[in-house]
Structure 1
């Protein structure tokens, strides 16, 4: 009942929290612009399609979703699938698959498929957050140094240009742009100052988000360079690049519509199903991660979220946009910027729409180095050293999946890294259950050995119970007490019954208490 209250109260008081949500929405908007463009480029799609996906994820999804802090948009994790689909189907037919994928997601939400997200261990979710933080940090180093030839949003270890995450860092040393470095350092200094306690207490600085001041400073510096320091001037490739429409007709020409004549093409439905499953999985993982980061510990209704994402996907596909998911990069930036309700996500979507229609030229003045500085802070907060210490203290069975998930994300990609972490987490669960037996034994003064079975006795406890019974010496007194057990696996039940025959042979005085049966512990008839 408590969780239900948190779910349905998660987004009330929107108006009273606008002083937090508007600055947060601005911060996320600034982060989202290059990501939308970069993911579109990575997907082999028109740049404008990435912006459409960002707008639909920011405006449509929050209207239906009850996620307080999640932010939706185009996802890097889908880039490979989208690239292949566009090559195989053509862009207009691919858009039809996006529309159908949205319909599939709505059906999944109605069918209550959102529960899948609850089966991911917290160690894997924490590892995903930390891994994303490390990747964000590393991937922004080239932009901070002025090497902007690669697109934003390339989160895979191996890249299309023949480099990987680490060889890329060595390669960029030959292409350092001093002007970009100065912009990045100035932006970082502002962001650092805004984090100081003395600044947080000042009302004026509370109203002005550090990310916005950093962006304005970056624009100012980049405009000063050509006038006073021409050798430091930033080239076009070092700046945000949004398509600029000369008039309303030019703007409308950038929209593309699905090819509905391909409705009978089975490849459309196969692609749509793939997109729906992968996008839903990414969304559910992001929901779990965002809820963990929420200071108020609000719980997002996952089935409702799938429905919201489905409507956003269909809306995006109908006007030429890429697939949409809830995205951890934007969501974490939103949380770190101080968002309180889903109004922040809506503000970010609204700003994307306004910027595309009215001020694309102004946004094209923002240096990518400035945005890199903002993402440095986001990445650091996701992968703080304190998190590693906390996870280490929880024990090896939680720490190992946490570390493996991070390594998986850094050296492969998002979905594969999470899959590797999940497998290791399951192995650790098996080892933990094997090592920590589902029972304990006591040896009394009269040398009576008491084996008291725990509440849940699964097949994982089979080996330990069998070994313990084998070690009991001849002529002993043994009591096996199942009074506290609500569930006993059949394998364990069979071992105990077999031990009755062995006890007679070893002259063991055996008493079995309340072992009624196996499974639900109903008496065996």
Structure 2
């Protein structure tokens, strides 16, 4: 078996497909830039800290990551935790020390192979998570498409105020009432271009297909807004009204000035370590969920090593803590944009990191002319692809045991946030697994007074109530055969139930016979020692 350390080293392999990875990297860059800034703003951190994390996610994490299509950077799911931590620790440099601690902890998680926890999230929940993220993207981008840019890019929470008065749905309603004509025109034109770029006519022409539709959308958005400025100076989209990308435009000097290190004098403060551990756990869960989702989206269905991913994220967070970045995680919005833009390898994520670094340093003034309405159109297309009606139809056809965890996850994420929604979905999925096992582990058949209790498969403590019910249904003066032939493992709790019943059987005049039933509670250990062979 390949060790996590060997996996990290081997992750540098992988051929770049320039015709696919370069355009995908450009699309992800356009999506990531406002997200990096918006999440930094929501976190109460310097704006450049979000950009620094995006660059680290692209240049460092992508080269160490287990995934060929996942993209890392600052995550909206950590914004509240980050804002609270900065306030409680008293300074951003002190918080950076906690980020560094989180990175070290994540590397440790990787060596301990804690990434396997992702394997216990049901597929229906992962599909529900992807569909829900698509719904949230659409709901969150509609206001930006209509010219209402009051919420930060990357916001994923349903409730936007402590009293619950402001929500995602109320934002959409307010945006419809106060719609901006210029933003609507830019959004409609942008969506039309993106739809045209999906057509067979464009795809059949290599010279056009090589140009990302998102790049055309951004260029057209800038040109349209400049045209509005010329025709009617009072009615174009202004940066001061929050309608454009807002990046500090100081160039290389400003970027270097924003680099800051951790406050090493706080290394004895216990709060640094508790905050770091909290960040490590939450960031690891979000990264593992995003990794699972990215593997589902990957057209080549490559399976990523979650332990290596944790180590890669840990190295990224160590770097973020050292030079002034926000915590880094794998992020599904950027990853899905990467997949749908045609990425073939990890180099698309690396290219997005290069573009973030170069463009932020070299052309910040040009980036600051990009209308958020143009970027909203790009994200609306990504959201639709994540939550296509066919996904719901296929889940329904798969049966109620697949559809209910799927739809519960969708609803929970839309009306709470990513981590809480997935947790609710997992709990619901586990309930269905228990329910299925509860009703299929045993069969009890009889002919006159002869009863046969057959174990149909391995049985655990969750089957205890069903076993008790079946044994209690046996009449007096009967005979029972307990057949464990089909089970290779029987939980010791079930042996206790049988033993208790056996003690009371003489009082009901019930004779009991066993067939290949005993000593199967030890088989789990045997299977582990012999790779599944008992």
- TM-score range for the pair, normalised by the shorter chain length: over 0.9
Q: Normalising by structure 2, what TM-score?
A: 0.91
Q: Say whether residues 1:113 and 2:114 are aligned partners.
A: yes
Name 2:529's counterpart in structure 1: none
**Deviation at residue 473 of structure 1 after TM alignment:** 4.0
Name 1:516's counterpart in structure 2: 518
Aligned 8 A contact 2:449 2:477 in 1: no
Q: Judging changes above 3 Å, is the alpha-carbon distance between structure 1 residues 10 and 187 closer, same or farther for their aligned structure 2 residues?
A: farther
Cα deviations across residues 314-352 of structure 1 (Å, max 9, x unaligned)? 212222111111111111111111111100100000000
**Deviation at residue 447 of structure 1 after TM alignment:** 7.2
What SS is found at the alignment partner of 1:440?
strand
Counterpart Cα distance in 2 of 1:495 and 1:263: 54
Q: Judging changes above 3 Å, is the alpha-carbon distance between structure 1 residues 309 and 480 closer, same or farther for their aligned structure 2 residues?
A: same
Q: Judging changes above 3 Å, is the alpha-carbon distance between structure 1 residues 110 and 222 closer, same or farther for their aligned structure 2 residues?
A: same
Counterpart Cα distance in 2 of 1:270 and 1:499: 49
Counterpart Cα distance in 1 of 2:332 and 2:300: 18
Q: How does 1:405-416 map to 2 (within 5 A)?
A: 405-416=409-420
Aligned 8 A contact 1:10 1:341 in 2: no
Name 1:357's counterpart in structure 2: 361
**Deviation at residue 367 of structure 1 after TM alignment:** 0.9
Counterpart Cα distance in 1 of 2:159 and 2:501: 56
Which of 292, 302, 305 is equivalent to 1:298? 302
Aligned 8 A contact 1:29 1:349 in 2: yes
Q: How does 1:329-344 map to 2 (within 5 A)?
A: 329-344=333-348
What SS is found at the alignment partner of 2:77?
helix
Counterpart Cα distance in 2 of 1:443 and 1:261: 75
Name 1:14's counterpart in structure 2: 15
Using the TM superposition, name which of 405-414 and 227-236 deviates more: 227-236
**Deviation at residue 205 of structure 1 after TM alignment:** 3.0
Counterpart Cα distance in 2 of 1:395 and 1:447: 38
Name 1:480's counterpart in structure 2: 482
Name 1:452's counterpart in structure 2: 454
- Where structure 1 has 5 or more consecutive residues not aligned to the other structure, the ranges are none
Using the TM superposition, name which of 496-505 and 407-416 deviates more: 496-505
Aligned length: 518
Q: Give the RMSD, CA atoms, in angstroms.
A: 2.6
Name 2:530's counterpart in structure 1: none
What SS is found at the alignment partner of 1:480?
strand
Name 2:218's counterpart in structure 1: 215
Q: How does 1:51-200 map to 2 (within 5 A)?
A: 51-88=51-88, 89-160=90-161, 163-200=166-203
- Where structure 2 has 5 or more consecutive residues not aligned to the other structure, the ranges are 525-534
Q: How does 1:362-511 map to 2 (within 5 A)?
A: 362-434=366-438, 436-443=439-446, 448-500=450-502, 504-508=506-510, 510-511=512-513
What SS is found at the alignment partner of 1:242?
coil
Q: Say whether residues 1:245 and 2:250 are aligned partners.
A: yes
Aligned 8 A contact 2:202 2:208 in 1: yes
Name 1:27's counterpart in structure 2: 27
Counterpart Cα distance in 1 of 2:111 and 2:192: 48
Aligned 8 A contact 1:225 1:232 in 2: yes
Counterpart Cα distance in 1 of 2:379 and 2:135: 11
**Deviation at residue 77 of structure 1 after TM alignment:** 0.7
Q: Say whether residues 1:346 and 2:350 are aligned partners.
A: yes
Counterpart Cα distance in 1 of 2:520 and 2:254: 72
Counterpart Cα distance in 2 of 1:278 and 1:318: 20
Cα deviations across residues 89-118 of structure 1 (Å, max 9, x unaligned)? 211211222122212211221222222222
Name 2:531's counterpart in structure 1: none
**Deviation at residue 195 of structure 1 after TM alignment:** 1.6
Using the TM superposition, name which of 35-44 and 387-396 deviates more: 387-396
Aligned 8 A contact 2:11 2:65 in 1: no
